[in-house]
């Protein structure tokens, strides 16, 4: 009996319950909330579920999963060395149709205008006491682009990577909740009723030349943008060339899906209580929301300018799609319009600034790296 009690005592002393802290319990609650949003609400489940489960794993004490030699210790290599974000950009490129942007190139300006929230948040973060490198990582949340946010933070400010990654992916998933009120506040019913002309057909030659020319132009102007822009455009070239269907499908499916799993679990694995439960994290989440709202505002306001300049032919709502959340932001624009005017279709027009936003956010990240890398 004594031997049994001794063994039982040993099991209890080595269990996670002994080392479980209040911080661990708070983070487990955060993981449950993220799982709820992913499973029950359908908010970016492909991203939030791996992040939530990684958060849960790393906050179970004494598992050793994140310690040197542990599973997450090695999986995090892809984040620490910016591998996962770049591979994901290749997959995004293979999935992206730049046709709407090429058919109406002026909408590229809407994608640029929607980056205003990025630079607004950078200034706000500096006023809150963050370094310029940290502020750059926080600001990129306004582009609603998780991979770019992770890439930039891994380069400039690894200490705030967990909070920035969670904020970026959370706001990406909350696009359908955040954007509609901003859109309706900045547009009238008459604005939302504007019907746009059908886009012109885009030739195969244009589609093939676009990724090549964009890579060279961005690479020469902003060399630091080459990893993101280059792989984005490589993925798109696989799609548009017409002779690499197998590679394109692999980039869109097997490669992208596997990388998304490891990226999500790695991000969640950085959310241990000690590093995540800080005042700085709260500031980052608030600044991320402000950045995202201002990015949407910048896109819609510039859409209003383009509406006037075009003589009322451009629906200003499509400016809200200038953030990098593809294709969710474009779909939100369509839903806002269709709710009031069932016969109106602006989805393809909104896809122009939406894909421009992907390029714009990557270019903004490249500019920050160029200016801030020592």
Position of tokens 């999500």? 264
Judged against a pLDDT cut of 80, whether residue 18 lies above it is answered with: no
Residue 83 token pair: 């591998």
Cα separation, 281 vs 162, in Å, equals 9
Residue 55 is predicted with a pLDDT of: 92
Highest mean pLDDT among 163-167, 183-187, 271-275: 183-187
**What would the pLDDT profile of 297-307 be if each residue is shown by its tens digit?**
999 999 999 99
Task: Give the predicted TM-score (pTM) of the model.
Answer: 0.89
- Least confident range from 4-13, 83-92, 114-123, 244-253: namely 4-13
Helix, strand, coil tally for the chain in percent (to 5): 80, 0, 20
**pLDDT given at position 131:** 92
Please measure the distance between the N-terminal and C-terminal CA atoms of the chain and give it in whole angstroms.
66
Is the confidence at residue 10, as pLDDT, over 60? Answer: no
Of 115, 167, 166, 136, nearest in space to 294 by CA = 115
- Report d(CA 248, CA 226) in Å as an integer: 20
Q: Tokens 């195969």 map to which residue?
A: 204
* Residue in 112, 83, 73, 24 with CA at minimum distance from that of residue 260: 83
* pLDDT digits 0-9 by tens, 203-218: 999 999 999 999 999 9
The mean-pLDDT minimum among 17-26, 48-57, 121-130 falls in 17-26
Kindly tell me the sign of the dihedral angle through the C-alpha atoms of 120, 122, 126, 129.
positive
Q: Is 10 exposed, middle or buried (0-12, 13-18, 19+ CB in 10 A)?
A: exposed
The predicted model gives 235-249 an average pLDDT of 96
- pLDDT confidence tier of residue 9, bands split at 50, 70 and 90: low
Lowest mean pLDDT among 165-179, 312-326, 352-366: 165-179
Lowest average pLDDT, out of 205-214, 321-330, 347-356, goes to 321-330
Is residue 15 very low, low, confident or very high in pLDDT (cuts 50, 70, 90)?
A: low
Q: What is the pLDDT of residue 97?
A: 93
Cβ neighbors of 267 (< 8 A, separation 6 or more) are 50, 51, 54, 79, 150, 162, 165, 166, 169
Q: What is the pLDDT of residue 141?
A: 84
**Structure tokens that stand for 52 in this block:** 């939530």
Q: What is the pLDDT of residue 2?
A: 61
pLDDT digits (tens, 9 = 90+) for 246-293: 999 999 999 999 999 999 998 888 888 888 888 888 899 888 888 889
Task: Tell the residue number behind the tokens 């959370």, with chain if given.
Answer: 170
Cis peptide before 327 (omega within 30 of 0): yes
pLDDT band at 185 (very low <50, low <70, confident <90, very high): very high
pLDDT value at residue 11: 54
**Closest to 325 in 3D by CA, of 190, 188, 195, 143:** 143
Q: Centre a 10 Å sphere on the Cβ of residue 334 and count the other Cβ atoms it contains.
A: 22
Asked if residues 229 and 359 have their Cβ atoms less than 8 Å apart, the reply is yes
Q: How is residue 39 written in tokens?
A: 């499973």
pLDDT band at 183 (very low <50, low <70, confident <90, very high): very high
Q: Which residue has the higher pLDDT, 343 or 299?
A: 299
pLDDT of amino acid 8: 56
Judge whether 276 and 58 are in contact, CB under 8 Å.
no
> pLDDT digit string (tens) for 115-126?
888 888 889 899
**More confident call, 318 vs 324:** 318
Nearest to 190 by CA among 349, 304, 319: 304
- DSSP character for 13? H
Give SS3 for 116. Answer: helix
Q: Is the pLDDT of residue 224 over 60?
A: yes
**Residue 278: predicted pLDDT:** 86
**Lowest-confidence range among 17-26, 128-137, 347-356, 362-371?**
17-26
Please provide the average confidence, as pLDDT, over all residues in the chain: 88
What pLDDT is attached to residue 99? Answer: 93
Distance CA 53, CA 88 (A): 20
């Amino acid at each position: 009996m004594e031997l049994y009690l001794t063994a039982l005592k040993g099991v209890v002393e080595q269990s996670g319950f002994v080392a479980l802290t209040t911080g661990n319990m708070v983070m487990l609650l955060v993981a449950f909330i993220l799982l709820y949003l992913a499973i029950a609400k359908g908010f970016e489940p492909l991203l939030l579920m791996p992040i939530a489960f990684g958060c849960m794993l790393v906050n179970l004490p004494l598992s050793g999963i994140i310690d040197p030699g542990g599973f997450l210790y090695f999986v995090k290599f892809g984040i620490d060395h910016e591998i996962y974000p770049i591979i994901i950009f290749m997959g995004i490129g293979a999935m992206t149709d730049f046709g709407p942007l090429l058919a109406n190139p002026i909408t590229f300006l809407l994608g640029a205008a929607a980056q205003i929230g990025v630079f607004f948040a950078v200034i706000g973060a500096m006023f809150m006491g963050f370094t310029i490198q940290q502020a750059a990582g926080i600001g990129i949340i306004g582009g609603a682009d998780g991979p770019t946010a992770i890439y930039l933070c891994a380069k400039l400010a690894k200490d705030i990577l967990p909070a920035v990654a969670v904020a970026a992916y959370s706001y990406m998933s909350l696009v359908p909740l955040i954007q509609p009120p901003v859109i309706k506040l900045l547009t009238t019913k008459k604005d939302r009723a504007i019907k746009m002309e059908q886009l012109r057909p885009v030739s195969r030659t244009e589609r093939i030349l676009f990724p090549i020319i964009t890579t060279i132009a961005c690479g020469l102007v902003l060399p630091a943008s080459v990893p993101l822009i280059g792989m984005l455009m490589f993925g798109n070239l696989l799609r548009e060339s017409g002779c690499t269907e197998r590679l394109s499908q692999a980039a869109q499916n097997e490669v992208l899906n596997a990388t998304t799993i490891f990226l999500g679990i790695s991000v969640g694995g950085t959310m241990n209580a000690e590093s995540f439960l800080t005042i700085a994290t709260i500031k980052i989440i608030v600044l991320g929301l402000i950045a995202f709202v201002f990015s949407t505002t910048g896109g819609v306001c510039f859409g209003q300018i383009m509406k006037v300049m075009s003589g009322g032919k451009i629906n200003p709502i499509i400016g809200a799609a200038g953030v990098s959340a593809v294709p969710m932001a474009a779909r939100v624009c369509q839903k806002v319009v269709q709710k009031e005017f069932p016969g109106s279709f602006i989805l393809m027009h909104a896809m122009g600034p939406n894909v421009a936003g992907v390029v714009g956010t990557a270019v903004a990240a490249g500019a920050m790296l160029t200016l801030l890398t020592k």
